[in-house]
Amino acid sequence: MQKPSIPKGTRDFSQLEMARRNYIFSTIREVFSLYGFAQIETPAMELMSTLMGKYGEEGDKLLFRIQNSGEKANEAPEKGLRYDLTVPFARYVVQHRDTIQFPFKRYQIQPVWRADRPQKGRYREFYQCDVDVVGTNSLLAEVELIQIVEEVYRRLGIRVCLHLNNRKVLAGIAEVIGAPDKMMDITVAIDKLDKIGVDAVNAELRERGLSAEAIEALQPILNLKGSNEDKLRDLRTILAESEIGMKGVEELEEIFTQLSNVHTAQADRSSQGRDKNCRLPIELDLCLARGLNYYTGAIFEVKALDVQMGSITGGGRYDNLTGIFGMPDVSGVGISFGADRIYDVLTELDLYPADLQSTTQVLFACFGDDELKFAMQCATALRKQGLRVEVYPETVKMKRQMAYADAKHIPYVAIIGSNELEERKVMLKQMLSGEQQLMTVDELIQQLKA
């Protein structure tokens, strides 16, 4: 009989992989909760009418469709698997608009499915981790999301840089180079600047119908240099004639001002001045465009500094996401943490806490059935104290019991033979050093709690 397997592009997650993923998710959740974001969940299946036409032609083709056995094979399935968390969230907001408190601060950590060709690092089932505020135009929402990025990566120990841009600035650029209707074309093309280089981007812009003059006019903008302040100053000159462009510049300035306001406060309160050093570096990056066409204001992407990995977090402001479901004029801003990539970064940089390997603190290993009964009593007492305990359930050879503890990285084994049983004690072996010590259950509890 052939070994069973799973569909291509999907994964099983072992105990260690789950411990690592749970570490990432719980770190992120804890930070979200400091900012008052609350979790929601939506069904894995959405109606096809909810999903279709939201992800472009390409996206429509990547939807997994679901068939009941009741449905005829040649009927079009009416349900599909969630492709991302954004569209279900927009659907949720509109459907539950009467019971939601606005501004609505929610996060959502759930798998999504895409019928993409599987390849290294790209899966057909993967988790997304989205956090959004909808129902306010306030740029303080952007500021809090940036603070969240800073705190999540500080806690995970990953050094990152946040790239910041604004769609209104991009629209302004299109305006001032004389191609106002080509904003999306310019956006999509320069989004690739990092990947394909300036010449290929220019070629693509020509293909997309930009005039030579427009492309020429764009070059100094692509090459803006210096500090964020320098770039903003230059932009104010370049975009002076564009109302929307100037609005974008003002939004960027406001975000920087508000960030400096909270950072100053932190520095004030930190006697060691330590906070200054772990402050998130932010780069105003005019080449950052993000392909998704619902963004209308700030856009962000986060990249790890110490490993080549592309964007590990990204998002932006959208002014009309819920419009597709008939609820216009609800502005929101959100970011998405890429759990799979964060997982890979932590693995590559070896940044997981050491104690994720085993959750069990002590294994009881016994020579006989009476010893096993005593072990069950001890284990019960230890668990009452909140200690994580296993009892090897059979009296097999001690070597095999030790191998079990070893393979599971359990740090202590409490051995019980006839002598220990008689004294109502255990021989505690520290697996790393091999040291052994005879002790009572109460002493064992004290040692493990210390």
| 431 sits near a second copy (criterion: CB under 8 A) | no
Q: How far is the CB of 397 from a second copy (least distance, A)?
A: 14
Task: Provide the CB-side half-sphere exposure for 273 (13 A, CA).
Answer: 0
User: Between residue 230 and residue 269, which ones bind a second copy under the rule CB under 8 A?
Assistant: 258, 261-262, 264-266, 269
User: Between residue 380 and residue 409, which ones bind a second copy under the rule CB under 8 A?
Assistant: 380-381, 383-384, 386-394, 404, 407-408
At 250, list the tokens. Answer: 């003002």
Q: Which stretch binds a second copy (CB under 8 A): 11-19, 158-166, 196-204, 277-285?
A: 11-19
Q: How far is the CB of 121 from a second copy (least distance, A)?
A: 17
Encoded amino acid at 313, one letter: T
At 251, list the tokens. Answer: 């939004």
Cα–Cα distance measured from residue 40 to residue 400, given in angstroms and rounded to the nearest whole number: 45
| For a second copy, the closer CB: 195 or 384 | 384
DSSP, collapsed to helix, strand or coil, labels residue 87 as helix
Q: How far is the CB of 143 from a second copy (least distance, A)?
A: 7
Binds a second copy by CB under 8 A, chosen from 38, 196, 240, 351 = 38
Closest CA to 340 of 118, 82, 76: 118
Closest CA to 125 of 279, 12, 26, 243: 12
User: Between residue 51 and residue 110, which ones bind a second copy under the rule CB under 8 A?
Assistant: 60-70, 73-74, 76-79, 81, 91-92, 94-96, 99, 101, 103, 105-106
Residue written as token pair 């296993």: 390
At 13, list the tokens. Answer: 């997650």
Q: How far is the CB of 96 from a second copy (least distance, A)?
A: 7
User: Between residue 303 and residue 332, which ones bind a second copy under the rule CB under 8 A?
Assistant: 325-326
Instruction: State residue 439 phi and psi, 5-degree precision.
Output: -155, 160
Cα–Cα distance measured from residue 351 to residue 186, given in angstroms and rounded to the nearest whole number: 39
| For a second copy, the closer CB: 68 or 272 | 68
Q: How far is the CB of 35 from a second copy (least distance, A)?
A: 7
| For a second copy, the closer CB: 176 or 382 | 382
| 20 sits near a second copy (criterion: CB under 8 A) | no
Instruction: State residue 335 phi and psi, 5-degree precision.
Output: -135, 160
User: Between residue 264 and residue 293, which ones bind a second copy under the rule CB under 8 A?
Assistant: 264-266, 269
The contacts of residue 397 (CB under 8 Å, 6+ apart) are none
Cα–Cα distance measured from residue 122 to residue 59, given in angstroms and rounded to the nearest whole number: 15
At 146, list the tokens. Answer: 């940036």
User: Between residue 122 and residue 181, which ones bind a second copy under the rule CB under 8 A?
Assistant: 124-125, 133, 136-138, 140-141, 143-144, 147, 151
| 11 sits near a second copy (criterion: CB under 8 A) | yes
| For a second copy, the closer CB: 36 or 353 | 36
Q: Is 103 left (phi over 0), alpha (psi -120 to 50) or beta?
A: beta
| 19 sits near a second copy (criterion: CB under 8 A) | yes
| For a second copy, the closer CB: 90 or 170 | 90
